[in-house]
Amino acid sequence: MNLNWRGFYTLFAKEVWRFLKVITQTVLTPVITALLYLLVFQTVLEDHVAVYPGISYTAFLVPGLITMSMIQNAFANSSSSLIQSKMNGNLIFVLVAPLSPLEFFLAFTAAAVLRGLLVGLAVWGVALLWVELPLVHPAWVLVFAVLGSAILGILGLIAGIWADKYDQLAAFQNFLILPLSFLSGVFYSIHDLPPFWEGLSWFNPFFYMIDGVRYGFLGASDSDPWLALTVVGATCLLLGAGCLRLLSQGYKIRA
């Protein structure tokens, strides 16, 4: 299948320009939020919690905050763009363009990944000002950062397709994305949980995204990195296939 690269790039550039125009809201605000989490948890728990030998709690915490910031903002990018286009009635201008569902999908997902990576880099750069954070396996960090942001960008597309109004999109985020993010080992090791909750955590794909990034930074993790890569990669493929099917059918986006 031949891609319409010009069409893909035009839609991708539109989505990137959309979030760069309000960079204070889309990039700087998530950085401040992550740093507030870091400040509070570092102050309260730094001297009381040890997760991995030789690694401070703050160093353990930062990769989780970076990943959580990336994936939440990747979701927000694609979901908010699509629901705004639907509510404002200008989605039709994208739909009548010579773009296939695959090109539509790739443009929105790539823009979400870019925003996620920019937020992650910003959180990491600011955190380095007062946290000693190693970078043991940079390739692993990049792979999990891209896959995690892609998964949430795809979920954002699915949410934007499904939702008919902003309230439904907010419910999707508040009752699915946020709980899975906060219950994924950002602030703790899942091995410290009671057996029931630890068992549930192994079925949370968000846990593997965060654990994979943490392994890339620290060289230590709660799960095997190859298992994490398998779960995250399979999740990305399955969600991508489902999203492409919805787009191909025109579900809730074509009259």
pLDDT in tens, 63-85: 999 999 999 999 999 999 999 99
Q: Nearest-5° angle of CA 32, CA 34, CA 37?
A: 110
**pLDDT mean over 129-148:** 95
The whole-model pTM stands at 0.94
pLDDT category at 45 given cuts 50, 70, 90 is: confident
Q: What is the pLDDT of residue 1?
A: 61
**254 domain-assigned:** no
**213 domain-assigned:** yes
| Both structure tokens of 104 | 């539509």
Boundaries of domain holding 49: 5-249
Spatial CA neighbour of 73 closest among 134, 123, 21, 126: 123
Q: What is the pLDDT of residue 28?
A: 93
| Average pLDDT score, the chain | 92
Query: Is the model's pLDDT at 97 over the cut of 60?
Result: yes
Q: What is the pLDDT of residue 115?
A: 97
Percent with pLDDT over 90 in the chain: 75
Provide the number of structural domains found in the chain.
Answer: 1
**217 domain-assigned:** yes
**255 domain-assigned:** no
Buried b or exposed e, range 156-174, using 16+ CB within 10 angstroms? bbbbbbbbeeeeebeebbe
How many CB atoms within 10 Å of residue 230?
A: 12
**181 domain-assigned:** yes
Let me know how long the chain is: 255
Q: Are 117 and 149 in contact (CB under 8 A)?
A: yes
**222 domain-assigned:** yes
pLDDT digits (tens, 9 = 90+) for 199-223: 999 999 999 999 999 999 999 999 9
Q: What is the pLDDT of residue 161?
A: 94
pLDDT category at 54 given cuts 50, 70, 90 is: confident
**131 domain-assigned:** yes
Q: What is the pLDDT of residue 143?
A: 98
Query: Is the model's pLDDT at 128 over the cut of 80?
Result: yes
pLDDT digits (tens, 9 = 90+) for 9-23: 999 999 999 999 999
Of residues 185 and 47, which shows the higher confidence score?
185
Query: Is the model's pLDDT at 181 over the cut of 70?
Result: yes
